Amino acid sequence: MAQIIETSCVVAGGGPAGMMAGLLLARAGVDTIVLEKHADFLRDFRGDTIHPSTLQAMDDLGLYDRFLALPHQEATILSAQFGDESIAIADFSHLPTRAKFIAFMPQWDFLDFIAREAQNYPNFRLIMHADVDDLVIADGVVKGVKAQTLQGPLEIRAALTIGADGRRSSVREKAGFTPTDIGAPMDVLWFKLTRRTGDTSEPLGRIAAGKFLVMINRGDQWQCGYVIPKGGFDVLKAQGIDVLRSSVAQLAPFMADRVAELADWTHVSLLTVTVNRLALWHRPGLLCIGDSAHAMSPVGGVGINLAIQDAIAAANILAPTLARKETPSTAMLAEVQHRRELAVKLMQALQVFIQKRVISNVLAAQDRPLPPPWPMRLFQYFPWLRRIPARVIGLGFRPERVRV
């Protein structure tokens, strides 16, 4: 027999959207349970970028200083390097926020921090190793979820169910939602290489004909993303790991004596890039947020921050009703989608434009010189233009502030 628990809100998924929603709702007096299918948060190559919009939320919550006491790296400038030429394309130092930089922090540290803060509230509960595999539905209304745990089947009945279980969301599937695929012409290979004293500290995109490498400073390591054409991993694997090593050494010559750390393909993780979104994020008793509602491209590293903005908006709109132990109306759920949907659409449109007009051209430019595109030259001649991409990347199109 399944154990049955009743609460005001159950959140499926302990990623950035789910954990932030759990913290904000519990803080607002809502009885909240978050279910995470894994035993811990320790997984590599998840989104590690904490943008100024998220740091502003930490400040709103009074957690800014404690959060930034965790090990992290900061970047005020984002640059792209074409051969020997480096161009600064985003300058965060002018943002109208307390944090005028991007912080790079392992996602597990971020999630552990949010979990610790949420557990200070007696009405918050985090259940690990709880794999949500079905919804509880009565008369067309979602009444909660069913999950498998180490202790056996678990059924949680709630006034509201939030689906925050990622781009392969089981909640979304069980709700009968099918996302619209917007398209992504690329995938990304993630791996780590040693970072040494004397290496540059700035995150950097390194670009040459047919090759695109992103390098993120993680203290004693570089977290590297090597962009490949969509579905091209098997072709690259057939060519051998030496081809990848050679490409990395060409793009970042100072790393040439470290590429041997890629001993074989087990040191490489494939991210299959997906860009999609739901036409409808909700049905009675259920709201999808974050990647469950809209999977983002890794362009700009904004996915984690869009997810957190969804959670803030949902808490701002729904917490007062849930705190009264009432079920939010369909109109209130629609209000969350209405508030967040345009910002998501604009960001995805920008990501798709960059994928098609910049990244695809780079990957197709085999064996010929690849100078910086002329629009990027404008950032050299008019440094104030760097504030525009910084604003879009750092804050998004509709930044949310914590109101509950």
Write out pLDDT tens, residues 270-320: 999 999 999 999 999 999 999 999 999 999 999 999 999 999 999 999 999
| 20 pLDDT above the threshold of 80 | yes
pLDDT at 362 over 90: no
Range in 184-193, 211-220, 263-272 with the lowest mean pLDDT: 211-220
Average pLDDT in the chain: 94
Locate the DSSP E strands across 141-202.
141-149, 152-163, 180-181, 186-194
Average pLDDT rounded to a whole number, residues 383-401? 96
Q: Per the structure block, which two tokens stand in for 232?
A: 């091209």
Do the beta carbons of residue 53 and residue 305 sit within 8 Å? Answer: yes
Beta bridge partners of 80: 87, 205
Range from 22-36, 80-94, 172-186, 201-215 carrying the lowest mean pLDDT: 201-215
Beta-carbon contacts of 96 under 8 Å, excluding residues fewer than 6 positions away, are: none
pTM given for the model: 0.94
**pLDDT category, 366, cuts 50, 70, 90?**
confident
pLDDT tens readout for residues 135-150: 999 999 999 999 999 9
Supply the pLDDT for residue 43.
77
Q: Are 373 and 328 in contact (CB under 8 A)?
A: no
